[in-house]
Structure 1
Amino acid sequence: MKKTWNVAVVGATGAVGTQMIECLVERNFPVGKVKFLASSRSAGQVLEYDGKPVTVEELTHDSFDGIDIALFSAGGARSEEFCPSAVKAGAVCIDNSSAWRMNPDVPLVVPEVNPHAIAGYKKKGIIANPNCSTIQMVVALKPLHDFGTIKRIVVSTYQAVSGTGNKAIDELRVQTGELLNGRPPKVEIYPHRIAFNCLPQIDSFCDNGYTKEEMKMVNETRKIMEADIATTATCVRVPVFYGHSESVNIETEKKITVAKARELLEDAPGVELVDNPGNGEYPMAMDVAGEDLTLVGRIREDATIKNGLNLWVVADNLRKGAATNAVQIAELMIEDYLK
Structure 2
Amino acid sequence: MPQVDDPAAPRIAVVGATGAVGGTLLELIEDRALPYRHLALVASASSAGRTIRVDGRDHRVTELPRFAFGTVDAALFCAGEQVSREWVPVAVAHGALAIDSTAAFRMTPGTPLVVPQLDAAELGRRPAGGVIAVPGAATVPVVRVLRDVERRWGIRRIVVSTYQGASGAGHSGIEELQDGSRTVLQDPQATVPSTQFSPPLAFNVLPGIGEVLEDGSTLQEREVADEVRKVLGLPGIEVTATCVRVPMVSGHGAAVWTQCRSAVDRAELVALLRALPEVVVHDPGGPTPAALSDPDQLHVGRIRVSTTAPDGFWVWLATDNLRVGGALDAVRVVEELLARGAL
Give the TM-score normalised by structure 1: 0.95
**CA gap 1:185/1:289 in 2 versus in 1, 3 angstroms:** farther
Superimposed CA distance per residue, residues 260-319 of structure 1 (whole angstroms, 9 cap, x where no aligned partner) = 111001110121111223xxxx21011239711110000011234240110000111100
- Tell me, in whole angstroms, the C-alpha distance in 2 between the residues paired with 1:304 and 1:190: 39
Matches within 5 A, 1:74-113: 74-113=79-118
8 A contact 1:106–1:126 mirrored in 2: yes
Q: After the TM superposition, which residues 1-339 of structure 1 pair with which residues of structure 2 at under 5 Å, given as runs? A: 3-60=8-65, 62-118=67-123, 121-182=126-187, 183-227=190-234, 228-277=236-285, 282-288=286-292, 291-338=295-342
Runs of at least 5 residues in structure 2 that lack an aligned partner in the other structure: 1-5
Which of 225-234 and 287-296 deviates more?
A: 287-296
Q: Offset of 1:4 from its aligned partner?
A: 1.5
C-alpha separation between the residues in 1 aligned to 2:122 and 2:101? 16
Secondary structure class of the residue paired with 1:178: helix
State the one-letter code of the partner of 2:297. L
Would the aligned equivalents of 1:139 and 1:270 in 2 still touch at CA under 8 Å? no
User: Shift in Å at residue 60 of structure 1?
Assistant: 2.2
Structure 1 residue 63: Cα displacement: 2.1
SS in 1 for 2:263: coil
Give, as a single letter, the amino acid of the residue that structure 2 aligns with 1:238.
Answer: V
Deviation for aligned residue 1:3: 3.8
> CA shift at 1:121, angstroms?
4.5
Q: CA RMSD in A?
A: 1.6
Query: Any conservation in 2 of the 1:111–1:329 contact (CA below 8 Å)?
Result: yes
> How far, CA to CA, are the matches of 1:246 and 1:71 in structure 2?
27
User: Structure 1 residues 77, 4: closer, same or farther in 2, change over 3 A?
Assistant: same
Cα shift at 1:161: 0.6
Stretches of structure 1 lacking an aligned partner (at least 5 in a row): none
| Distance (Å, rounded) in 2 between the aligned partners of 1:23 and 1:116 | 22
1:53-107 C-alpha deviation (Å, 9 max, x unpaired)? 1100011275212211110011112111111221222211100111100001110
How many angstroms apart in 1 are the aligned matches of 2:317 and 2:26?
A: 26
Deviations 1:7-64 (A, max 9, x none): 1000000000011111111111111100000011110011111121110001127521
- Aligned AA for 1:301? V
Cα distance change of structure 1 residues 290 and 46 upon mapping to structure 2, 3 Å threshold: farther
* Structure 1 CA distance for aligned equivalents of residues 265 and 184 of structure 2: 46
Separation of aligned partners in 1, 2:308 and 2:211 = 33
Between the aligned partners of 2:48 and 2:158, the Cα distance in structure 1 is 44
Q: Secondary structure at the match of 1:136?
A: helix
Partner SS state of residue 142, structure 2: helix
User: How far does residue 335 in structure 1 lie from its aligned partner after superposition?
Assistant: 1.4
CA positional deviation for 1:144? 1.6
- 1:155-191 alpha-carbon deviations (Å, 9 max, x no partner): 1110011001101101111111111111432222111
- With 314-323 and 251-260 compared, the bigger mean Cα shift is at 251-260
Q: CA deviation at 1:255?
A: 2.2
SS state of the match for residue 241, structure 2? strand
Q: Is contact 2:42-2:67 (8 Å) kept?
A: no
Q: Look up the equivalent residue of 1:112 and give its one-letter code.
A: Q
Following TM superposition, the consecutive aligned residue runs of length 4 or more in structure 1 with deviations greater than 4 angstroms are none
